[in-house]
């Protein structure tokens, strides 16, 4: 019977495969589990300033090509061995993209990039990619956008972000309070920190909300709160990675009774959305660290096999290893920047730090 009061604008409903079903199809391997547990431990040690190294969240703006993602992961895993004394490399493995208006929403939403929105396949692909990356021993990072997807993927993620557009969202604050890994909350697109600080407090607090359980059933979710929330400075109307902005952020965190723990996003507003600007940001915050600023514990870089970006289109016509969302720096630039940062940080390691 057709209703005149509900689902008026709904074209169709299609069942979504349950989280447990996908986990049974693609069970976490011992190697992946070890990477996730150890990766989360190391990240919390860095955030707690018990590990003097820097957290470096590095990788593509978004994943659209499995082959390119695996090639990038293999390179990053090899580089981690070189720089392990001064930094922990965590690969960006982003599958969901918030859109200001419309556009490709990421691998989970539209894995075939043709508008078919085969989300069951998207979830399977995302889980396979996370498994393969973690089996290399490489920790993973992603943005949690849809509050349903953590049940499918969160067990393979070591660090997650809540984006600038969703930091103010009650739904995302509640979700973050129940996530099993450290969560970075980005300042809003206008550069304001207040809402991100409010989000940190909310996410650290026990919450109850409507969600899904491992079988995919709608339920009441009750959380204990996430103690490892922290702020990510991504710029806004102006960049906010400079020393004055960092001190302003520290003051606001202190006034809110929160730890002075900051990760700097070298892209987005801080680079004015130009990939060349990321190097300037990273070099600046490394200098601040070397000058004694211990509030800065990490950085984020948007990086791919090749620099720049391209428009989303027919997968067979895309240039291999080039982003289809934000501009990225190339692998060669990434490698050079991280090796240079490693060398500078290594020269500044004190005997106490080296003993940690």
pLDDT at 2: 65
pLDDT band at residue 313 using 50, 70 and 90 as cut-offs: confident
pLDDT band at 3 (very low <50, low <70, confident <90, very high): confident
* CATH, residue 23: 3.20.20.70
pLDDT at residue 54 is higher than 60: yes
Query: Which residues sit opposite 263 in a β-bridge?
Result: 232, 298
Q: Would you say residue 2 lies in a domain?
A: no
pLDDT higher than 90, residue 101: no
pLDDT reported for residue 32:
98
Tell me whether residue 1 is in a domain.
no
Tell whether 303 is covered by a domain: yes
**How do residues 283-300 score in pLDDT, each as one tens digit?**
999 999 999 999 999 999
* pLDDT digits 0-9 by tens, 186-224: 999 999 999 999 999 999 999 999 999 999 999 999 999
- Position 350 confidence tier, pLDDT thresholds 50, 70, 90: low
The structure tokens listed for 34 are: 């070890």
Give the model's confidence band at 102: pLDDT under 50 very low, under 70 low, under 90 confident, else very high: confident
pLDDT over 60 (residue 351): no
Name every residue whose Cβ is closer than 8 Å to that of residue 9 and which is 6 or more positions away in sequence. none
Q: How many domains does the chain have?
A: 1
Q: pLDDT class for 352, splitting at 50, 70, 90?
A: very low
Residue 6 lies in a domain: no
Does the pLDDT of residue 1 top 70, yes or no?
Answer: no
| Full residue range of the structural domain in which residue 228 is found | 19-94+122-348
Does 68 have pLDDT greater than 60?
Answer: yes
The pLDDT of residue 355 is above 60? no
The reply to whether 354 falls in a domain is no
The answer to whether residue 81 is domain-embedded is yes
pLDDT at 258 (0 to 100): 98
Is residue 111 assigned to a domain?
no
Burial letters 20-51, b for 16+ CB under 10 A, else e: eebbeebebeeebeebbeebbebbbbbbeeeb
Residues above pLDDT 70, as percent of the chain: 97
119-138: average pLDDT: 98
Per residue in 162-190, pLDDT tens? 999 999 999 999 999 999 999 999 999 99
* Average pLDDT of the residues of the chain: 95
Residue 99 lies in a domain: no
Q: What is the mean pLDDT of residues 29-40?
A: 98
Say if residue 228's pLDDT is above 60.
Answer: yes
């Amino acid at each position: 019977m057709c209703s005149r009061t509900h689902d008026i604008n709904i074209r169709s409903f299609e069942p979504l495969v349950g989280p447990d079903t996908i986990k049974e199809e693609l069970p976490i391997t011992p190697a992946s589990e070890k990477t996730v547990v150890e990766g989360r431990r190391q990240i919390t040690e860095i955030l707690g300033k018990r590990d003097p190294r820097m957290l470096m969240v590095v990788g593509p703006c978004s994943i659209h090509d499995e082959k390119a993602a695996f090639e990038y992961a293999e390179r990053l895993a090899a580089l981690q061995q070189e720089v392990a004394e001064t930094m922990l490399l965590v690969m960006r493995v982003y599958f969901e993209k918030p859109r200001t208006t419309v556009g490709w929403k990421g691998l989970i939403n539209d894995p075939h990039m043709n508008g078919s929105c085969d989300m069951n396949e998207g979830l399977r692909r995302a889980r396979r990619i996370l498994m393969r990356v973690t089996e290399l021993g490489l920790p993973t990072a992603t943005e949690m956008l849809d509050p349903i997807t953590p049940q499918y993927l969160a067990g393979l993620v070591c660090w997650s972000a809540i984006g600038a557009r969703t930091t103010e969202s009650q739904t995302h604050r509640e979700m973050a309070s129940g996530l099993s890994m450290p969560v970075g909350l980005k300042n809003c697109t206008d550069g304001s920190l207040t809402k991100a600080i409010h989000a940190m407090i909310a996410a650290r607090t026990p919450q109850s909300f409507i969600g899904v359980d491992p079988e995919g059933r709608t339920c009441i979710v009750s959380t204990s709160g996430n103690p490892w929330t922290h702020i990510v400075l991504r710029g806004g109307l102006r960049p906010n990675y400079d020393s004055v902005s960092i001190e302003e952020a520290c003051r606001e965190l202190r006034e809110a009774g929160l730890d002075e723990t900051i990760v700097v996003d070298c892209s987005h507003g801080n680079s004015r959305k130009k990939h060349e600007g990321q190097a300037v940001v990273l070099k600046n915050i490394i200098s601040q660290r070397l000058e004694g600023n211990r509030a800065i514990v990490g950085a984020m870089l948007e990086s791919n096999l090749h620099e720049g970006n391209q428009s989303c289109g027919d997968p067979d016509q895309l240039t291999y290893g080039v982003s289809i969302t934000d501009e990225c720096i190339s692998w060669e630039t990434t490698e050079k920047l991280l090796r240079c940062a490693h060398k500078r940080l290594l020269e500044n390691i004190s005997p106490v730090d080296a003993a940690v």
